[in-house]
Amino acid sequence: MATLTNLRHFYFGPDMIFPVGILGTLTNLRSIPFVHVSLTGTGIEELSALSQLKDTLKIHNLEYVTDEGARKANLGEKKHLRKLILRWDLQGPSSSSDSHKRVLEGLRPHSNLEYLEIQGFMGVNFPGWLSLLNNLKEIKLWGSNKCEGVPVFGHLRHLRVLGMYGLLNLKCMESEFYGYDEVAATSEEIKFLFPALKILHIQDARNLTDWMEAPTGRVNIFPSLEELSLAHCDKLIYAPSHFPFLKKLVIKYMDRGSMPIASILSNQLTTLTSVVIRDVNGLTSLPDQMFKDNMSLAYLSIWNCIELASIGPHGFGCGTSLQDLNISECGNLRYFPDGLNPTSLRKLYIRNCPLLSSLPRGLENSTFLETLELWGCSEIISVPIPPHGLSSLKIEDCSQSMIL
């Protein structure tokens, strides 16, 4: 293997471990599937001579790497790399938080990088170079459960996707998250923070209590954000309300989800087309303005919200664009509001809502309804069927005296 000095592309399976000294001799390599660092095999410093690597580089088992070895890998000189995945295996030998941070400091990549994924990093803080990769388009942080803060990402002008998963020690996201401290507050020019971000996912931040409102002044926050997902943020009691172009909202597995829902679904939000709410405790009703202000809302799914008594306290107020309505496992739901206009519905699924006594009024006038499914709705005795268009009807575990 050491004699194949002109080899450019090398493919191998997940259990492959290079003998010591082999990888470093293949100086013309353009691509390899990944690098497994080990005590008896490849050392990360063997990457030093592979300056022609391009596209994607995955480095596993960083728990075996020292800060000196990380620096010797010379990732900063690999200008053809576009995607970098760095992984610590938490089942491997333990090391200190400072050791993790020094290693990650030494793995600073070239500024041409477009995709960065970090898994299992156990430092208390991320190194500053994460905020300096101005060509980044996508960032994913996984399982960094000792981190107390997140890097400054707001000024990365090409960043489109940001996912943060398993930041268990994160308690508050303040102005530093937006990068506000780096914006000249006295400038007359309007500054854009997260100017290209389209997708933001925050999951398993179980100690996050406050996601602070964006700073005010001559700044424009999230001007491109279309999708926001929050999951397993059990202690979150406050979230921002400024999402001027948000289309898809997903909130799942939240103990105090009704409070951030009320913050996000403020009267400033008028662009929603899809809402998914699942396993949210304390939610008794959705805010009225969600339906009145979001005239293009087409998809609504609510699962296992056991305290939900009504969809909206005073009726939908609109619903003329609603095409897909899915209500499941809501044991306390008793009625649909009179304000719902179901004439645009194409799909209606109601599952295991034993106290629900009737379907939306006017359903029989729908000219678009294609699918109607009822499961476990024992109190519903009458089902209005539209005269045209229905192609699928399923009724199971409902009232024996049901009238169609």
pLDDT band at 245 (very low <50, low <70, confident <90, very high): very high
pLDDT at 219: 82
CATH number of residue 177's parent domain:
3.80.10
381 in any annotated domain: no
What's the CA gap between 311 and 323, in Å, rounded?
A: 16
Three-state secondary structure call for residue 165: strand
Mean pLDDT of 174-195: 73
138: pLDDT confidence band, cut at 50, 70 and 90?
Answer: very high
Domain holding 177, by residue range, is 23-289+303-316
- What total number of domains does the chain contain? 1
pTM: 0.92
- Do 334 and 308 meet the contact criterion of CB atoms below 8 Å apart? no
The answer as to whether 121 is a domain residue is: yes
User: Within a domain: residue 351?
Assistant: no
The answer to whether residue 12 is domain-embedded is: no
Examine residue 271 and state whether it is found in any structural domain, yes or no: yes
pLDDT for 93: 66
Residue 358 placed within a domain: no
Q: Give the mean model confidence (pLDDT) for residues 379-395.
A: 85
| Residue 71 within a domain | yes
pLDDT computed for residue 187 by the predictor: 58
At residue 228, the 3 state secondary structure works out as strand
Could you tell me if 313 and 283 are in contact, meaning their C-beta atoms sit under 8 angstroms apart?
A: no
Confidence (pLDDT) at 15: 77
Rounded CA-CA distance 138/46 in Å is 27
